[in-house]
Structure 1
């Protein structure tokens, strides 16, 4: 397979764009064409010859009807490619108005002003972002940070791949008899037959029985912390709230430890593209957002430990601080932020549960979507996470069906996502419906589903190779002591929501304080939270002032 291609279509400004994209020619096959027909033929020829198309650059100087035909044609020919409209400065104001809806609906990924000369880094920064996301979600890794050796891609292998995708580590799967497989197994022959075997660039090589083992090898264990040290803040959960708290606490000089049971980023880290987060006009994937936040926190001194969920909190013997317990060790701390977020609720259908990891997935499972190219994928859920998962899956699948119990998506999903879904010809929304049964094909992979109309009770059997379940929030706080009060659904009570008899002299606790002094709560796990990335980030940042106040008592 040759280098991925960038196809530029421009009738009148080809020389300007050719010069601007000259910097990409070392790593991309840059093709310049002058009309929409040639652009479509070029893309088809590239795909037929085994090349991938990473980006279409379309000059707005084409006739508008032909231009929209070219946009739709590129989506149909290469749904995984990014699409960029460039506009000459003489018509940028008009184009901005004409194509605003196309950008909002996801028909194109961006509208940019044509480069105004050499080193137009604002332009190239946007192009780089699009190529970066394409490389992360579509391209085969050029350098594999982690290699998984196994005779078959079983459920555990897919879990490892999903975890690695969420933490931003390129990975590859290889058969033991392949050249790479033999090379890896030569370094750890004692593990032959105990699959999968995992090899990483940090030097570790061996059998990996679960995701936690992989996380521990990559990031370490909590018991590496000096047991005599009492830190200022332990953040439990590295989703948006936990990451924001880690950044702000450590930047203000607080000794901070962040514990994450799974992948840094939490549920938000599985989002393929978040388009309504402040400061990212072209959107950002949850993984990128999480890794950038982690990098910020590390720079200020936060220590991260993943793969060991918190199992409890107890006071120390003298009552002077808290002890956060994990199976890998205890962490002593003056304050705690509970930011463990939520899990997706289980579907509760036995025949479906038996196929988890074999076509059935809880969450977006972005890595799994690539394996279902050309198939029918069903996504159950009506929230933003489900919408983002559907748009990502539609880049690969032949057909995507969103199944939701409500009549439509308007009550639960952001408008910009609904617009993208309505425009995308590969996505269908099936309202007033639910999945009630399913079964495997001849090789034990999901093959079919039964969908029930919740209004009439009628059943329909549909062929499907992928089922992604994003069923709403179930709080992850069973590990907390009973003294931390929860509401009737299990979410943690804070501030004025705490029963009045628990207030101190009729003064309500601080907004993010729980019923246990020194323990705070933020993000999706908090009762009454908005369940949005931005609001969780705000809570994580704002809790630091409360931590300072508590430490200053």
Structure 2
């Protein structure tokens, strides 16, 4: 397959851009044009020939039309390409007031200063980040970490592929009759003497197995040795056990282990939690171009591991046995227990289920709870629907619009402004591929076996209409992951963990409430979306995860004083 294209529109400073982009020529087809019209024609030819366009870069002043009109035209031709405006220093400040609003509306992905000399690594950092984002969400991986052999429509295979994508591990699916599929299956057939049940997963480490759940894949990929997992180690008690690895759990792990506390983090499936499914988080502090949930999660995981956190990926926590009178708490799993002096509950929330049989029967077959970034590629040129009015729904709609012919957001309220951040509301309004249908809910779905249509009811009039749909992405509110928590840990009527002054006064100790993020059980804390009264934002969850560590230190100091 031909190399992906990087297209440059440089009528006045082509010498600068051609020189700067020469470093990418070994792996990309770098093409420079002197006008918007010439670049548009070339992009149309590339698309007609089935080629791929990774990046569009344009000067901020063009001879034949305003740059923002050109960018709009190019977006229509190659919606999946990342778009960069590189302004010459003579124009950068003068045009900044005109250009910066375009970033918020999603007209382009970056507004950069044209390089002023060799090795402008700030410029190239932005370029490589955008190319990396394109490669992770659009292009088929050149080198795969895992091969998934599956036959036809299989929800489990879809879930496994999504797991690998969320873990930042390139994976690809193969039919059993393909060359790769036959080779993978032959390895198991030789061992057992019979063809294994599908799906079968082969990893880069040489492990090949028929699998029955995503959690099993997580354990096989990341190891499940009890000795590695500090399960049943006689006499060992860790300082902190973090249950859940969304932004709150990851932040708690980073700060706890960086301060010398022995830390273990449990995650049943993919690191990152609900935030890890986000295609692009645009309002997280310190990332002006945004960051995908996958990258935020994996960078945080690597940071925590660097300080010594042990991650138990694929380990589902089944229960918590609170310790009393200074005894450690015990985290129960199906393979044993971990003793911990402090526990941070950071299991976050799950999307609320729609509860309609015809919809639930097609989960993984065109219906997805969450953004399911890996499924976006399958929607190219088709119509899809997103249900939900929060930021996650808005981010999913923006990402899907790069692929799908149309994206319709269905929301029960009269508008998105009540529940969605303003920057996303404005970006969606600008995006001509996205429509918002208020006062609407899904009441039925159909297709054999994959989703082909949905029925939508107007909640005010009761009228029901039927629509063709290649994908239905459900991002409906939040239900806490608290089934494993014992009754001693108080929760509110919706199941969220109560902490600090939210704990009923009758349960305060010596007339004093627990610390701000501490539950009614000493040494058991809650951070992030699972906590009652939390803000339900990524940055807020990460802040709570960091803030819980000083409280853990205070608890450990109290235990130490009690022993002396």
Q: Which moved more, 1:343-352 or 1:183-192?
A: 183-192
**Aligned with residue 258 of structure 1, among 260, 265, 282:** 265
Establish whether residue 206 from structure 1 lines up as the match of residue 203 from structure 2: no
Tell me the equivalent position of 2:561.
none
Of 476, 494, 498, 1:471 maps to 476
Aligned match of 2:489 = 484
Match of 1:446, SS state, is coil
Counterpart of 1:86 in 2: which secondary structure? strand
Equivalent in 339, 357, 363 of residue 346 of structure 2 = 339
Instruction: Tell me if 1:162 matches 2:169.
Output: no
The answer on 1:541 being equivalent to 2:546 is yes
The residue correspondences of 1:298-337 to structure 2 (distance < 5 A) are 298-315=305-322, 320-337=327-344
Cα deviation code 1:167-213 (max 9, x no counterpart): 11100111222222222223222362411111001221111111011
Secondary structure of the equivalent of 1:199?
Answer: strand
1:364 partnered with 2:371: yes
CA distance in 2, matches of 1:151, 1:489: 41
* Aligned position for 2:520: 515
| 293-302 vs 55-64, which moves further | 55-64
1:112-150 CA deviation, whole Å, 9 max, x = no partner?
000111000000000011001000000110000000112
Partner residue in 2 for 1:179: 179
Q: SS at the partner of 1:284?
A: coil
In the other structure, the counterpart of 1:417 is: 424
Instruction: Please state how far the C-alpha of 1:319 moved relative to its aligned partner.
Output: 5.8
1:407 and 2:407 are equivalent in the alignment: no
Task: Specify the alignment match of 1:27 in structure 2.
Answer: 27
Unpaired runs of 5+ in structure 2?
559-564
The DSSP-based 3-state class of the residue aligned with 2:41 is helix
Structure 1 residues 55-103: Cα deviation after superposition (integer angstroms, max 9, x where no partner)? 0001112159532221111111011000000000011002211111111
1:392 match: 399
Provide the alpha-carbon RMSD of the alignment. Answer: 1.3
| Distance in 1, Cα, partners of 2:247 & 2:219 | 21
Comparing 6-15 and 310-319, the one that deviates more: 310-319
1:237–1:266: 8 Å Cα contact kept in structure 2? yes
CA drift at 1:519: 0.3
Counterpart position of 2:147: 147
Q: Which moved more, 1:387-396 or 1:501-510?
A: 501-510
1:151 to partner: Cα distance: 2.4
Between the aligned partners of 1:382 and 1:354, the Cα distance in structure 2 is 24
Residues 62-73 of structure 1 correspond to what in structure 2 (within 5 A)?
A: 62=62, 65-73=65-73
Contact 1:222 1:305 in 2 (8 A): no
8 A contact 1:221–1:328 mirrored in 2: no
Q: Secondary structure at the match of 2:528?
A: coil
Q: Give the equivalent residue in structure 2 for 1:111.
A: 111
**2:45 maps to which residue?**
45
How many equivalent residue pairs? 551
Question: Paired residue for 2:445?
Answer: 438
4+ long deviations beyond 4 Å: 316-319
Q: What is the alpha-carbon distance in structure 2 between the residues aligned to residue 24 and residue 377 of structure 1?
A: 35
Alpha-carbon contact 2:185-2:196 (below 8 Å) kept? no
Cα distance in 2 between the residues matched to 1:193 and 1:294: 34
The alpha-carbon deviation at position 42 of structure 1 amounts to: 0.9
How do 1:92-107 and structure 2 match up within 5 A? Answer: 92-107=92-107
Instruction: Name the CA distance, whole Å, in 2 between partners of 1:179 and 1:83.
Output: 37
1-side partners of 2:324 and 2:99: how far apart? Answer: 65
Q: Is the 8 A contact 1:80 1:396 kept in 2?
A: yes
Task: Give the whole-Å Cα distance in 1 for the aligned partners of 2:125 and 2:99.
Answer: 21
Aligned counterparts of 1:86 and 1:496: Cα–Cα separation in 2: 52
Structure 1 unmatched ranges of 5 or more: none
Contact kept, 8 Å, 2:188 with 2:196, in 1: the verdict is no
Q: Is the 8 A contact 1:230 1:334 kept in 2?
A: yes
Structure 1 position 281 matched with structure 2 position 288 = yes
Q: Tell me, in whole angstroms, the C-alpha distance in 2 between the residues paired with 1:96 and 1:341.
A: 39
Tell me, yes or no, if structure 1 residue 290 matches structure 2 residue 293. Answer: no
Provide the rounded CA distance (Å) in 2 between the counterparts of 1:456 and 1:543.
Answer: 48
Query: Partners of 2:175 and 2:454 in 1: how far apart?
Result: 31
Aligned-partner Cα distance in 2 for 1:192–1:552: 58
Of 198, 215, 229, the residue aligned with 1:195 is 198
What SS does structure 1 have at the residue aligned with 2:530?
coil
What displacement does 1:456 show? 1.1
Q: Give distance in 1, aligned partners of 2:45 and 2:401.
A: 22
Q: What SS class does the counterpart of residue 133 from structure 2 fall into?
A: helix
TM-score by length of 2: 0.96
Alpha-carbon distance in 2 for matches of 1:193, 1:372: 30
Residue 318 (structure 1) shift: 8.0
- Which of 536, 557, 560 lines up with 1:552 in the alignment? 557
CA contact 1:2–1:50 (8 Å) conserved in 2 = no
1:494 equivalenced with 2:499 (yes/no):
yes
Query: Which sits farther off after the overlay, 234-243 or 179-188?
Result: 179-188
